[in-house]
Chain A
Amino acid sequence: MAWSGRFALLVAAGVVPLVLLGGTPGAAWAVFAGWLALSLVAGVVDLVLAGSPRQVSLAREVPARVRLGEPAAGRLLVTNLGARRIRGVVRDGWEPSAGLAGDNRARLVVPAGERRAVPLAFVPTRRGERRARSVTVRSWGPLGLWARQSTMRHEGRLRVLPPFRSRRHLASRVARLRELEGNTPVMVRGAGTEFDSLREYVRGDDVRSIDWRATARRDAAMTGGGQRLMVRTWRPERDRRVVVVVDTGRTAAARVGDEPRLDTSIESSLLLAALASRAGDRVDLVAWDRRVRARVQSVTGPTLLSRMVDALAPVEAELIDTDWSAVPALVRQVTSQRSLVVLCTGIDTPAAARGMLGVLPALTSAHTVLVASVTDPSLGEARRDRGDREAAYLAGSAERALRDADRVAAAIRRLGGDVVQAPPEELPPALADRYLALKAAGRL
């Protein structure tokens, strides 16, 4: 039950009859009591005449997925199953970070037996599963004095996908990938490149890729023609495997710049997956701390990216230490083939990285290992700020933190891995570049 400002005004309006008729104390009090009784009776009558907010059937039309920061439109359908018309207000109980626009107080008139839609406009502010728990309907009586209010359980969910802001880096990296393709034999003959085809020499080709034997054969076949040189073309290796392990443990919860490390890891792995699937490699992804939080496996082609964002959307960082000892087995489950294993984690101090360093040999012996880590740009600023005593001590501490990270990176390199370190904005393209470099060198 609820009542309106109109009811408060009605009560206040009792001043007029009180002043006009309250000539004697007895009459004044009688008018007072009478007016209160009148207001109450009006309210109760209004309440009784209001359509029942319980006699409704609810349905939501909400897109299953929306990218973080992008608007989405949905509808809440209210069907009046009662005998009276419902004149009222509806509130859809979404989590705040679903970003429901407006004040979420939709006016609604539903005649008996009919259905009306309430438009919902979302601009989600947080990644993950956004839920709605209930719908509240407040149904006013014909006088608009009192209302019946009821909250109905009606769950809904909206999966907010990672924004994939690093998409804008994809086009340039794909162009670089095309350069690697054997259409033009810019490649030197490398250990990992594969023979693709033979074609005629055109000016500008590398003379080292001229295949004299094929030229001779072709000359034998051709009659009367001029000298036609044949060149071999090479293309980068295909159908390699990339395994991305996203660490969702404690280090992923740390916020660097404007976003948690986990979000940067997700951005990086999405860009890498998009690029690698264009390059013809197979990408598998595991999000792991002490158990598998998300897994995308044996998916190829255009569905890969959507599967990945879908799987990673609800993943949150857990405040537990990652169990690195299980990671080699995890990778082995995905593939036994030699592959590129990308560990998206944070490297802070040798002590914190001990678990990862311990299992690195097991990984590097079978795979190419790349550790992608976010660095904190604020450390670099703090390092150089030596304005006063506090700042100088902080600079010393920042130097120490940077050196710790450097030591971990050095340890990883000693153990046969490779490290990509960059601030949050730059890590995804840096990782993609490193992947391209490895591919160009034929080290996959």
Chain B
Amino acid sequence: MTAPVAGVAPAETPTLRRALVDRRGWIVVAAIVLVVSVGVAVLQGAGTGGGRPLGADNAAPAGGAAVANVLSAQGVQVVPVDSLDAAVTRADGATVLLVDDLGLLGSDRVDELADAARRIVVVAPTFAALEALAPGVRFGGLAAGPTDAPACDVPVAERAGSLGGVGDVLTVDDDALAAGWRGCFPDETGAVRVAFGPADGGPEVVVVAGTEVFANDTVAEAGNAALALGVLGSTERLVWYQPGAADASDAGPTIGELTPPWVSPVLLLLVVTTVAAAVWRGRRFGPLVVERLPVVVRACETTEGRGRLYARSDARGRSLDAMRIGALGRIAALVGLPGHAPAGDIADAAAALLGADPAAVRALLVGDPPADDGEFVRRARELDALEQRIADAVRAPGASADPTDRPRNR
């Protein structure tokens, strides 16, 4: 049946162009989804304007854009910087707002910055900043109770009147007080939310314990705004300094700097290799071949099902009756009675053959239904044993045992 070389076999695999045309609906849908999701991402990104807490251009609740914008409108030149060099360069004669939320600056660099500035406002100070600028001022945890009164003789604080919100506090020890430090807005325990440094020659130092005085969402509460504008707006230029990546080198080399530059590309290359290997192994060699399999039911399933049904409904009488009828039929054939002989006669014949008590055999073969499962199982076994004994008794005299009859080893 060698077929002559026929034409090209009809291919089922679509060509690239065919596949694209067939799936153009999905391609269009995917393109729409892509465009929409990119658009949504762009719009959302513009709206939220993420950034660092208290950033000068951060309009988020934690940002500082409100204060920065008001100061700009009032004629103060706000200069956001993120490196120490830039901050020091611009600091001459200006107020420096130091928001070291990442804790990047060491005490010596804070000193360097303070030396360059006319006035330095430290918000949420780090330990290094306190050590450098305000020895004797320490962290005091959260304010215990409201801070309604300035309780100090600093004009800026007195103008503010009270501070809103609940914020961190500082403690000013006696040495610092003796050195001229003034704490304002004390809580019930005497810890203060703002500490003003001594006004003797060097730069003015203001330490504000928490960010809530300047943050967008809380700046409008109580006297927060007055204090913020008062401490920041006293000079023509405000250097809004948040230490950034450039200042981090001081903290020692990072893991990224320690590893060779090829590590990241190699990792990505391994990912690409994994994907390539997955495609290599996962590519199917042609479609699956479907086979119509016949329905096949096990013939004994109905019997087993009925057996379980008997067991579940405790049909002892019915089940034992079935066994009795079966046994009676076989015993009748063994003792030479017709199958339709009365059960009592068959039982008597069996008893006579075995020389057993006729009443007992009769009770076993045509007795009452068993009372419980134990009796049921016992009688079932006795029936089987009785049948076996009769078969043996019938076969024994003739001594012509059926050669195909194997000994039952149960």
Binding site for B on A (CB under 8 A): 2-5, 7-8, 11-12, 14-15, 18-19, 22-25, 27-29, 31-32, 35-36, 54-62, 64, 77, 79, 81, 89, 91, 93-97, 105, 115, 132-136, 138, 149-154, 253-256, 260-261, 316-317, 319, 346, 348, 374, 376, 378-379, 382-386, 388-390, 392-403, 406
Return chain B residues, CB-CB under 8 Å to A393.
307-308, 310-311, 315, 319
Instruction: Please judge, given known A-B contacts A151-B287, A260-B294, A395-B323, whether A14 and B269 are in contact too, CB under 8 Å.
Output: yes
A392: B residues at CB distance < 8 A: 319, 376-377, 380-381
Chain B contacts for A399, CB-based, 8 A = 322-323, 325-326
Which residues on B sit within 8 Å (CB–CB) of A389? 311, 373, 376-377
**Bound: A15/B273 CA distance, A:** 10
Give the residue name and chain of the B residue nearest to A17 (CB): B262
- A5 and B277 within 8 A (CB): yes
Which one of A15, A61, A316, A393 has the highest number of Cβ atoms from chain B below 10 Å of its Cβ? A393
Residue among B3, B280, B303, B308 making CB contact with A398, cutoff 8 Å: B303
> How distant is the Cα of A254 from the Cα of B376 in the complex, in angstroms?
31
- What's the least CB distance linking A43 to chain B, in Å? 10
In the bound complex, residues from chain B placing their C-beta under 8 Å from that of A91 are 285-286
How many residues on B have C-beta within 8 angstroms of the other chain's C-beta atoms?
67
28 chain-A/chain-B pairs, Cβ below 8 angstroms: A5-B280, A11-B273, A18-B265, A19-B266, A31-B265, A54-B11, A77-B3, A91-B285, A91-B286, A93-B286, A115-B5, A133-B289, A134-B286, A151-B12, A151-B286, A154-B9, A379-B303, A386-B377, A390-B308, A390-B311, A393-B310, A396-B307, A396-B310, A397-B303, A397-B304, A397-B307, A397-B319, A403-B326
A7 to B283, CA, bound (A): 14
Distance A394 CA – B380 CA, assembled complex (angstroms) = 11
Q: A-contacting residues of B (Cβ < 8 Å)?
A: 1-3, 5-13, 260-262, 264-266, 268-270, 272-273, 276-277, 279-280, 283, 285-287, 289-291, 294-300, 302-304, 306-308, 310-311, 315, 318-323, 325-326, 329, 373, 376-377, 380-381, 384, 408, 410
Q: How far is the CA of A316 from the CA of B296 in the complex (A)?
A: 10
In the complex, A113→B217 CA distance in Å? 80
B6, B272, B286, B303: which contacts A401 (Cβ < 8 A)?
A: B303
- Contact between B377 and A403 (Cβ–Cβ < 8 Å)? no
Using CB atoms, name the residue of chain A closest to B321: A396
Nearest Cβ on chain B to A299's Cβ, whole angstroms? 24
| Contact indicator A105/B296 (Cβ below 8 Å) | no
The dominant DSSP class at the A interface is mixed
| 5 other A-B residue contacts (CB within 8 Å) besides A254-B298, A393-B307 | A8-B277, A29-B265, A31-B262, A152-B12, A154-B9
Do the beta carbons of A152 and B380 come within 8 Å of each other? no
Q: Are the C-beta atoms of A54 and B280 separated by less than 8 Å?
A: no
Q: What's the minimum C-beta distance from B2 to chain A, rounded to whole angstroms?
A: 6
B287 nearest in chain A by CB position: A151
- Of residues A27, A59, A149, A399, which shows the largest number of chain B Cβ atoms within 10 Å of its Cβ? A399
Q: Which of B273, B283, B287 is most buried by chain A, counting CB atoms within 10 A of its CB? A: B273
A374 to B381, CA, bound (A): 28
Known: A382-B303, A393-B310. A24 touches B261 (CB 8 A): yes
5 closest Cβ contacts across the A-B interface? A136-B286, A396-B319, A22-B262, A394-B307, A397-B307
**A152→B9 contact, CB < 8 A:** yes
Contact status A79-B11, CB under 8 Å: no
Q: Which of A89, A138, A261 meets B299, CB within 8 Å? A: A261
Interfacial chain A residues near B322, Cβ < 8 Å:
396-397, 399-400, 403
Name which residue of chain B comes closest to A18, CB basis: B262
How far is it, in angstroms, between the C-alpha of A349 and the C-alpha of B373 when the chains are bound? 28
Chain A residues near B9 (CB-CB < 8 A): 56-58, 135, 152-154
B381: A residues at CB distance < 8 A? 386, 392
What residues of B have a CB within 8 angstroms of the CB of A18 in the complex?
262, 265-266, 269
CA distance A213 to B104 in the complex (A): 138
In the complex the two chains form, is A3's CB within 8 Å of B261's CB?
Answer: no
